[in-house]
Chain A
Amino acid sequence: MSTDTDPKGAAAVRIRGLRKSYGTNEVLKGIDLTVAPGEVIAIIGRSGSGKSTLLRCVNGLETFDHGELEVQGRPLVHGDAAAMRALRQQVGMIFQQFNLFPHLTVGRNVMLAPRLVKKESDAALERKARKLLDRVGLGEKFDAYPDQLSGGQQQRVAIARALAMDPGILLCDEITSALDPELVGEVLGVVESLAADGMTLLMVTHEMNFARKVSDRVIFMHQGKVHEMGPPESLFAAPQTPELKQFLASVA
């Protein structure tokens, strides 16, 4: 478990005074957060509280106006393509809508980025892709196209695709929200096994039971700020602020 006094360099992600506005609407109002390697963080809160925006800042999908963001000791600099490329190799992301490439087979979805970015050999790429697909339970779908798979299967392919870059950190943006209820379990199962293997995870989620079970720390965001933060057992059992109490009551 990390605290915000970790020495510089030890953190997987370090965020200081992060602010972002869309026009006059400030969506992030000064976020401070340090994530230790291997830590599993669940970010909860109402829609519009800034949790997805925060997540998307970590791999540069969103720009921010003020503050600092470091990933594994290296500052995120927008406009520096080489630095951004290096950073994104360390930070994988999984989306609510899966975002598999529909014109490529499952195998090619997984192999595309390592082939282009890491220039690995074809044989090594395929071996690795098959291994990753086996890991998410879809080894036999190597030659299938995304639209031939169920939502849960597509999301598991998306996880394999992100893992193919060997990221140290994985961002999960409401990855089960677009799934039919009976398919949620298979995806969460994969995420849970990643957490058990020591992957650093930052996940925005509405699955409170899952957050309670898997995460080391839960962050409750409210109106663009970290409103309350703590280990899941205390945060869920004894919320300190009325906003969190109200939020937990509304999702229960």
Chain B
Amino acid sequence: MVEFTLWDILRNLLLAARWTVVLSLIAFVGGGLVGLVLLLLRTLERPWLQRAIAAYVQLFQGTPLLMQLFLAYFGLALFGVETSSWFAASLALTLYTSAFLCEIWHGCVRAVPRGQWEAAQSLALGYMEQMRHVVLPQAMRLAVAPTVGFLVQVIKGTALASVIGFVELTKAGTMITNATFQPFLVYGCVALMYFTLCFPISHYSRVLESKLHVHRH
């Protein structure tokens, strides 16, 4: 029987942790871009568009991420689309993140007083100028803390990609456990690595929150 040292375990987990980070980044950048487009469309005064986007948001908020991953992985295959666990995980996490970020940011845009829009309008600014120079800078200030906080949810959410065969931190932990029969040690290390990724971010989000509340500019 092969002996596994602690270093063997850690090294393999760290290698797998890279993919957790990459998948989180894909989810966040992709979800952020899609979420921003959805946000801009949602603030236009088009009732059918607003309803469609609200339905999209509800759909992704009201179903488990696990099901979304299954559907992306097996559903695409059902339609004859050749898919990989990479692609399916990226797609599902991007859509999931976009729905949540759209909702968070939409709330922040709506928190900007109506008078700000009206003042910008009465100064002859166009819609995109109102958004870019008046509303978004104020909404962004409100959005920083909840957005960074949500990033932590996404990082932990990538663990679910293990069920469709994506080898990230959690999947690697399971594989190593199967080889070493030391579940407590291995999963303990896995948990510690998630914590190492998430703690600085949630801490930073709290710092930002207090900072942005004290200084308004």
Contact = CB atoms under 8 A, between A and B. Distances in A.
Interface of A: 59-61, 81, 85-86, 88-89, 91-93, 95, 97, 99-103, 112-113, 116-117, 145, 147, 158, 161-162, 165, 171
Main secondary structure on A side of the interface with B: mixed
Given A99-B115, A101-B116, A103-B217, A116 B122 contact: no
B121 interface: yes
B116 A117 contact: no
A92 B121 CA distance: 10
A145 B129 contact: no
A116 B115 contact: no
- A-B interface, 6 closest residue pairs, ranked by CB to CB distance from nearest: A113-B123, A99-B119, A88-B124, A93-B122, A99-B115, A89-B124
A117 B125 contact: yes
A9 B118 CA distance: 28
A204 B105 CA distance: 36
B133 A116 contact: yes
Given A103-B138, A147-B217, A162-B123, 20 more contacts: A85-B124, A88-B124, A93-B119, A95-B115, A97-B115, A100-B119, A101-B116, A101-B138, A102-B217, A103-B137, A103-B141, A112-B134, A116-B125, A117-B124, A117-B125, A145-B217, A162-B122, A165-B123, A165-B124, A171-B122
Interface string B124-163: 1111010001100110010000000000000000000000
Interface string B161-185: 0000000000000000000000000
26 contacts: A59-B121, A60-B121, A61-B118, A81-B126, A88-B122, A88-B123, A88-B124, A92-B122, A93-B122, A95-B118, A95-B119, A97-B113, A99-B115, A100-B119, A101-B120, A102-B138, A103-B138, A103-B141, A103-B217, A112-B123, A116-B129, A117-B124, A117-B125, A147-B217, A162-B122, A171-B122
Contacts of B216: 102-103, 145, 147
Nearest to A101: B134
Interface in B187-217: 216-217
Contacts of A171: 122
A29 to B, nearest CB: 24
Among the interface residues A60, A97, A99, A165, which one has the most CB atoms of the partner chain B within 10 A?
Answer: A99
Interface string B2-15: 00000000000000
B121 A88 contact: yes
A113 B126 contact: no
A92 B122 CA distance: 6
Contacts of B141: 103
A124 B127 CA distance: 25
Nearest to A100: B119
Contacts of A113: 123-125
Nearest to B137: A103
A175 B121 CA distance: 18
Among the interface residues A60, A97, A101, which one has the most CB atoms of the partner chain B within 10 A?
Answer: A101
A199 to B, nearest CB: 16
Contacts of A93: 118-119, 122
A239 to B, nearest CB: 33
A160 to B, nearest CB: 12
